Amino acid sequence: MASLTFTERLLHIASRIYPASFEKRFTMLLKEADIEIPAKLYLGTAAIVLFLTVAVSLVFSTFMLGILYAIGIAILAALAVMVLFYLVPLMAADTRAKQVELVLPDAFMMIAANIRAGMTIENAILASAKPEFGPLEMEIKRISTKIFAGTSLHDALLDMGERVRSNALKRGITLLLEGNALGGQMASLLYEIAQDLREQKTLQREISNATMMYTIFIVFSTLLASPILFATSVQYSMMSAKITASVGEIGELPSGAMSFGSAEGILRGPIITPDELKLFAVACITVTTFFAAFTLAQVRTGKLLSGIRYVPVFVLAGLGMFFGALYGLQQLFGSIA
């Protein structure tokens, strides 16, 4: 602790607001994302940014909107910061895993070919490190460095599985280690693993094509139909408010105008203003698009948490469609008073 700088000590102290499980989780996540930052420093930075964001939003919102709105905005700002700091390494880890899975069958095929050419498994792995493999090349070089430094093949491969957020790679490593321990034909085993991975990719593409109609329905209903219907309701409310204000109360109708008892009862009930309806529409669209992003991710990829990356896009697209449709309706029916 004495060798740490003042900033590092401050970040270590700030990270204590999070439970110990957070540190373990982010240690693994940063490792999978290949981000060379200690988890304590990352969480400390998140804590300081969280505190500053809440303080600034609370002060400005209190002066502009009042204390009740300020508390709500501060809570939303805090949640946004926490999600952002979790989303950055998560997206980096998932992107890196996809790049590895894309070339993983070719890598196993190359290792199998090297073994058939007479190389040992360690040399076969080292020789398969090609620039076109992207992040997998760096992982293979890291494995080879550890092996030639004295680390066993078993430990080096397990460490590689922990560094990449890929179930396909972990399964391949498990089969490779079991086959090596049992003395099996490694070249044939690696070839079979590569074939299985390619068949798995083909199956995933077929599943993705089969769920295309669900994807279209989710996108259409949440990003197009729902915002336009809400915008139509708000515009109708605004037009009704203008007409009601121009006519006046039921008792003030001009001479010759008809007064219906049912209409009088309706107009004397609780009034929902257009602004309140607009606020309700914004809240509904935000909640709907938020859960639609997770639903789409579950349908398309089978990973619920991968929907986090879709949330900002869905929310902004839904709200953008709502306000765009509302502006268009206002321009179209603006002459009606």
Instruction: Please write the tens of the pLDDT for every residue from 291-308.
Output: 888 888 887 777 777 777
Mean pLDDT score, 277-288: 89
Claim to verify: residue 24 and residue 133 sit in the same structural domain: no
Residue 78 lies in a domain: yes
**DSSP letter, residue 118:** T
Same domain, 62 and 156: no
- Does 224 share its domain with 167? no
Domain that includes residue 320, residue range: 211-247+269-333
Q: What pLDDT is recorded for position 288?
A: 92
pLDDT surpasses 70 at 102: yes
The tens digit of pLDDT for each residue in 58-98 reads 888 887 777 777 788 888 888 888 888 888 888 888 888 88
Exposed, middle or buried: residue 284 (CB in 10 Å: 0-12, 13-18, 19+)? middle
| Nearest one of 77, 132, 81, 143 to 107, comparing CA atoms | 132
Residues 153-181: what's their mean pLDDT? 85
- Residues 300, 277 share a domain: yes
DSSP codes joined into one string, 124-166: HHHHT--GGGTHHHHHHHHHHHHHHTT--HHHHHHHHHHHS--
Q: Looking at the structure, tell me whether residues 294 and 309 fall in a common domain.
A: yes
pTM for the complete prediction?
0.70
**Residue 324: per-residue pLDDT:** 92
DSSP-assigned letters across all residues of 241-286: HHHHHHH--GGGPPTT----HHHHHHHTS----HHHHHHHHHHHHH
Could you give the percent of the chain with pLDDT greater than 70? Answer: 91
In a domain, 205, yes or no: no
The per-residue pLDDT for 211 is 76
Residue after which a domain boundary falls, among 92, 111, 131: 92
pLDDT score for 335: 62
**Rounded Cα–Cα distance for residues 46 and 135 (Å):** 27
Judge whether 260 lies within some domain.
Answer: no
Query: Are the C-beta atoms of residues 59 and 26 closer than 8 Å to each other?
Result: no
Cα end-to-end distance, the chain, whole Å: 71
CA distances in angstroms from 116 to 38, 93, 121, 174, listed in the order given: 41, 33, 10, 21
Average pLDDT, the chain: 82
56 and 157 part of one domain: no
Average the pLDDT over 176-187 and give the result.
78
pLDDT, residue 1, reads 46
Residue 255 lies in a domain: no
Residues 67, 10: one domain? yes
User: Does pLDDT of 267 surpass 50?
Assistant: no
258 in any annotated domain = no
Give me the CATH number covering residue 169.
1.20.81
CA quadruple 131, 33, 46, 66: dihedral, nearest 10: 100
Residue 52 vs residue 59, higher pLDDT: 52
pLDDT tens digits along 200-251: 888 877 877 777 888 888 888 888 999 999 999 988 888 887 777 776 554 4
The answer on pLDDT for 147 being more than 60 is: yes
pLDDT of 116 reads 87
Residue 193: C-alpha distances to residues 14, 63, 82, 189 (Å): 46, 63, 39, 6
Q: Do 291 and 285 form a contact (C-beta atoms < 8 A)? A: no
In a domain, 263, yes or no: no
Helices (H), 211-225: 212-220
Domain end, chosen from 70, 92, 114, is at 92
Residues 17 and 65 in one domain: yes
**Same domain? 187 vs 238:** no
Cβ neighbour number for residue 292 with a 10 Å cutoff: 22
State the pLDDT at residue 321. Answer: 92
DSSP assignment of 16-33, as one string? Answer: GGS-HHHHHHHHHHHHHT
pLDDT at 308: 78
pLDDT greater than 60 at residue 265: no
3-state SS, residue 121: helix
CA distance 20 to 43: 11
Q: Is residue 261 part of a domain?
A: no
pLDDT at 257: 47
Q: Let me know if residue 262 belongs to a domain.
A: no
Counted domains in the chain: 3
- Nearest-5° Cα angle at 99, 98 to 101: 60
Tell me: do 121 and 229 sit in the same domain: no
Query: Which among 34, 64, 92 is the end of a domain?
Result: 92
CB 156 within 8 A of CB 146: yes
DSSP for 32-77 reads HTT----HHHHHHHHHHHHHHHHHHHHHHHHHHH-HHHHHHHHHHH
Residue 9, pLDDT > 70, answer yes
Can you give the length of the chain in residues?
337
Q: Which amino acid is at 93?
A: A
Task: Give yes or no: residues 68 and 146 share one domain.
Answer: no
Instruction: Give DSSP secondary structure letters for 175-198.
Output: HHHHHHHHT--HHHHHHHHHHHHH
In this prediction, residue 252 carries a pLDDT of 52
